[in-house]
Amino acid sequence: MKYQAIREAIEKADKISLFRHTHPDGDAAGSQLGLKEWILANYPQKDVRAVGAEHFDTYPYTDETEDEFISGSLAIVTDTSNSERVDDQRFKLAKEIIRIDHHPVVETFEDQLYCEPQRGSVCEYIAEILMGEDFKGTVMPKKAAEYLYSGILTDTLNFRTSDCDASTLKNAARLVDCGLDMNELSVRMFDVTQREFFLRTKIRNHFEYEDGLCFVKLDKEAIGEMGITASDAKIMIDEFGQVQDFKIWAVLAYNEETGLYDGSLRSKYGYIVNLIASNYNGGGHDCAAGIKNLSEEDVENCRKDLLEEIRRADKNQHK
Ligand SMILES: [Mn+2]
């Protein structure tokens, strides 16, 4: 009966607004739109809006939503650990707020919180909730299953991250059973355009290696030459993800709008980057975090902190 209260809140509400984090990734947009499709399939009379200003390629839309709608609604916030990061701060207007997440808990801003940081994606967690005991008698429509499955694929990089386990596969398998085409979704999520391929080839040339750290700094000139923004650069972090010697890898890119650097940090299991990220206006998971607004000096300090983390973790392992 752990999730009975979610079901009751959904059944009670005529209006439901769904929120996720800014710069949405597949897990953020997938959980939001998956929930929307699921609610509409099971409760077609409800008015459900996916809220958020930013769009993510493979997920086409969010809904126009007025303040009055939100203030009379149940808000469900997914995949977001701090209130500041919710895409559209009007979530605060809602009558009741439920948050479902898989980030370490750093803040509570909701009436009901369901958070399991050991999960590789919030989509997997939501799939388990919606297909579990407390939601008996409801259906998982194919469309919702596709969104949720795509979120699992994005956050686990196609089941490759260290937080994948039997439950990830079980929940993914149950979604596949709803009739989705695994191969088609995988191609849709991971095939890149020729331009992206070109940029990825370029960015690889910018790496510097030192003692287990792969550090990519794209300064103003490099960003200009590639014709991309800092956020385009940050998402190419996964280019550096499958290298034996890299214990931590980082992409820091010059942001034309702020004149400062934004970045992404990733690490192998056992190396922790989110504590460092919290010192550079960011946060996230143990092995995946974001940072922003770093000066040139911060960039160098961050590089030192990451090297220090590698030394710390290596020392602990050899005890
Ligand atoms: Mn996520």
CA of 103 to the centre of ligand 1 (A): 7
Q: Are 156 and 207 in the same domain? A: no
Q: Are residues 58 and 174 in the same domain?
A: yes
Q: Are residues 92 and 146 in the same domain?
A: yes
Residues 257, 183, single domain; the answer is no
* Segments of the chain with pLDDT less than 50: none
What is the secondary structure of 164-224 as a DSSP string? --HHHHHHHHHHHTTT--HHHHHHHHH---HHHHHHHHHHHTTEEEETTEEEEEE-HHHHH
- Ion ligand 1: protein residues whose beta carbon lies under 5 Å: 27, 79, 122, 155
Angle at alpha carbon of residue 35, lines to 77 and 68, rounded to 5°: 55
Q: What per-residue confidence (pLDDT) applies to 239?
A: 93
Q: Please, how many CA atoms are within 13 Å of residue 118, restricted to the half-sphere of its CB?
A: 4
- State the distance from the centre of ligand 1 to the C-alpha of 221, rounded, in angstroms: 32
Indicate if 183 and 215 belong to the same structural domain. Answer: no
- Residue 53: what pLDDT? 87
Token representation of residue 317:
């392992």
pLDDT digits (tens, 9 = 90+) for 147-162: 999 999 999 999 988 8
pTM: 0.82
Torsion of CA 21, 164, 114, 108, to 10 degrees: -50
Same domain for 199 and 178: no
Distance 28 CA to ligand 1 centre (A): 6
Ligand 1 mean position to 22 CA, how many Å?
A: 12
Cα(71) to centroid(ligand 1), Å: 26
Write the Ramachandran bin of 259: left for phi over 0, alpha for psi from -120 to 50, otherwise beta: left
Are residues 147 and 206 located together in one domain of the fold?
Answer: no
pLDDT value, residue 58: 72
Instruction: Read off the CATH number of the domain in which 240 is found.
Output: 3.10.310.30
* Co-location of 174 and 208 in the same domain: no
Is 42 found in the same domain as 161?
yes
* Residue 80 CA, ligand 1 centroid: distance in Å: 8
Ligand 1 centroid vs 210 CA: distance in angstroms? Answer: 29
- Residue 238 domain boundaries: 195-317
Cα(224) to centroid of ligand 1, in Å? 30
Question: Do 265 and 229 belong to one domain?
Answer: yes
User: What pLDDT is attached to residue 57?
Assistant: 67
Number of separate domains in the chain: 2
CA dihedral over 218, 222, 224, 229, signed as positive or negative: negative
Q: How far is the CA of 41 from the centre of ligand 1 (A)?
A: 24
Both 39 and 121 in one domain: the answer is yes
Which of 166, 190, 214 is the C-terminal boundary of a domain? Answer: 190
Residue 3 φ/ψ, nearest 5 degrees: -110, 15
Of the residues 132, 162, 190, the one at which a domain ends: 190
Based on the fold, state whether residues 277 and 204 are members of the same structural domain: yes
Domain boundary among 170, 190, 210: 190
Whole-number Å distance, alpha carbon 225 to ligand 1 midpoint, is 31
